[in-house]
Amino acid sequence: MQIYKAHILFTRERTQFEVIPNGYIAVDDGKITGVYNQLPASLAGQPVTDFGDKLLIPAMNDIHVHAPQYRNLGIAMDLELLPWLDNYTFPEESKYSDTAYAERMYRRFVHDLWLNGTMRTAAFATIHFDSTRLLMDLFKEAGMGARIGKVDMNRNCPKALTETIEEAVANNEALIAEYAKPNALVSPIITPRFVPSCSPELLTVCGELAHKYNLPVQSHLSENRNEIAWVQQLEPESHHYGDAYNRYGLFGDTPTVMAHCVWTDGEELAMMRDKQVMIAHCPSSNFNLASGLAPVRRFLNEGIPVGLGSDISGGNHLSIFRTMVYAIQTSKIRYCQDKSLPFLTLPEIFWIATKSGGRLFGKVGSFEQGYEFDALVINDHELNHDNYNLLHRLERFIYLGDDRHIEHRFCRGREIAEPKITK
């Protein structure tokens, strides 16, 4: 049993913060047993870790990110999607056949997630078995949660980034055998890159693997209009892009997260609602790649689950706090152009980043009883130069703060030390 004292802020409901000044959280075996204004008699005499005037908030979840694009973060941002993929993304991912290179970059990637307070991550790796294993082991070594996808792809990409159907099945099954354990902190997720990269045969086996092993699925959906037209050519019998996944059992039969959905509408939107397919909203990437403004208010109105993704290196930073700001700004520009969709408020986007996105990892992202204790201690002393109230302190940290203000990080009840990098 651990008890932590601090100013506690989290979002039980979407529309408002719970604020407990000088509150207590009791944690047992990694799970929250209670949140209190005052310590109850039953806990009297237990040792308390007192964080004083600091803020205690749920840790961040990043539900869409490309780990092997870490080196490309913040470069070549003047290119459009196709030359960017051909000249930067695919050549970089090809390097991950070299596990020494992979280790150097993946250690930095895991370190920087930690730095930014992201304790749970759904990541695309590459097609390579060995470096994907390595990435999973680095998350385990750090003690941080992850769903890691060995990427499956076999068309419209360089030869070096393809494999046979048999290799794809064998490599996925080997990872599943090693990592798909009940309650595992780090586990596999079936990851067809996106329809244009995967032949019908490959999509078929991806769907079969997801069903056979009851594994979650992640991919990309309706990111830009050219891509949607291309998918329609490649899968002419599908009613919409989402249907092209659904025909292969990859659209909500098991827990599924689809990145972007900027242009999702009509039947696709209805299918996502009916099958509860989660959307990874990646606003920074949607700006940088000129993809557009995803209609998150509509997703919420429909009851479609939504979380946030940094989507590096389409996104230009790993901070989910900065992603929150971009998500609000995206919704404000949509609102400016169409007043029927109110913009997202701070509690709403905080709830999306924590409790809503956290569903991909179990009971993660809230401080309610029974949730895993994933938390950040925010030391905002520098930002709080004029006695701001607690909600304004949190807002200032989100809008102005950075990794310098994150003082402690917890995942599943354990404090997470700084992961090692190699020079």
Whose CA is closest to 124, among 209, 41, 66, 172?
Answer: 66
With respect to a copy of itself, which residue has the nearer C-beta, 180 or 341?
341
CB of 254 to a copy of itself, least distance (A): 33
**Tokens 């196709």 -> residue:** 82
Whose CA is closest to 262, among 204, 217, 220, 319?
Answer: 220
Q: Is 166 in the site for a copy of itself (CB under 8 A)?
A: no
Whose CA is closest to 197, among 235, 146, 171?
Answer: 235
By CB under 8 A, name the one of 199, 204, 345, 384 that touches a copy of itself.
345
CB of 211 to a copy of itself, least distance (A): 37
Range 379-408, binding a copy of itself (CB under 8 A): 383, 385-386, 388, 392, 395-396, 398-400, 402
**Residue 378 to residues 27, 41, 144, 301, Cα–Cα distance (Å):** 19, 28, 19, 32
**Residue 50 to residues 31, 46, 72, Cα–Cα distance (Å):** 19, 12, 40
| Contact track, a copy of itself, 29-58, x by CB under 8 A | ------------------------------
Q: Is 317 in the site for a copy of itself (CB under 8 A)?
A: yes
DSSP 160: G
CB of 323 to a copy of itself, least distance (A): 13
By CB under 8 A, name the one of 140, 332, 363, 414 that touches a copy of itself.
332
Q: Is 324 in the site for a copy of itself (CB under 8 A)?
A: no
DSSP string of 242-295, one letter each residue: HHHHHTTT-SSSS-EEEEE-TT--HHHHHHHHHHTPEEEE-HHHHHHTT-----
Helices (H), 116-224: 129-142, 165-179, 200-212
**Tokens 């006695």 -> residue:** 387
CB of 280 to a copy of itself, least distance (A): 19
With respect to a copy of itself, which residue has the nearer C-beta, 76 or 160?
76
Range 75-94, binding a copy of itself (CB under 8 A): 75-78
With respect to a copy of itself, which residue has the nearer C-beta, 246 or 316?
316
CA gap 259, 268 in Å, rounded: 14
CB of 209 to a copy of itself, least distance (A): 34
CA gap 373, 120 in Å, rounded: 12
Judged by CB under 8 A, which stretch of 118-126, 157-165, 200-208, 321-329 contacts a copy of itself? 321-329
**Tokens 């798909």 -> residue:** 180
Range 287-316, binding a copy of itself (CB under 8 A): 287-293, 316
CA gap 151, 220 in Å, rounded: 12
CB of 350 to a copy of itself, least distance (A): 11
Site residues for a copy of itself per CB under 8 A: 71, 73-78, 105, 108, 287-293, 316-317, 325, 328-329, 332-333, 335-337, 343, 345-346, 383, 385-386, 388, 392, 395-396, 398-400, 402
